[in-house]
Amino acid sequence: MNQSKIKEAGIVNVKFGDGVIVVKPVNLYDCAIGSNVFVGPFVEIQKDVNIGERTKIQSHSFICELVDIGKDCFIGHGVMFINDTFVKGGPARGDKSLWKQTKIGDNVSIGSNTTILPVTVCDNVVIGAGSVVTKSIKTPGVYAGNPAKFIKTLSD
């Protein structure tokens, strides 16, 4: 006898601000999404995530638990946030005490196919496509690469 379970993706217990646009299919649950946010298709936003006002999240992005994203941000296509750093040599396997937080400041743009490990990113940062952010970013500017490194200051 088959003991498989099928769970539906969808929108469950989400606190939405005014003017939010969500393009289905998505998997959003137990999170808070600020006013005038755009969420593209095939996005997953997990529980206890906070998304700031006027942020745009493009398709195929994954925002795991313990992530806060500020206002006026841009999250490109296929951006992956990580909260489990495999500190014991593999997945935490349900031990959420091993997970770590990520905080993205205001006015941060993250290019497509970037991976963000548990870090803090200050306000006014651009992260180039395909980057891997392994350390906190404390100075505004442009960062890119694997691992992401400072490239230049932002122009006025």
97 phi and psi angles, rounded to 5 deg: -65, -15
Cα torsion through 143, 145, 148, 154, rounded to 10:
0
Choice among 56, 60, 77, 103 that is catalytic: 60
Q: Is 77 a catalytic residue?
A: no
- Cis-peptide into 147, omega within 30 deg: yes
- Looking at the DSSP bridge assignments, the partners of residue 110 are 75, 127
Length of the chain measured in residues: 156
> What separation in angstroms does the CA of 27 have from each of 46, 68, 131?
8, 17, 25
Active-site residue list: 60
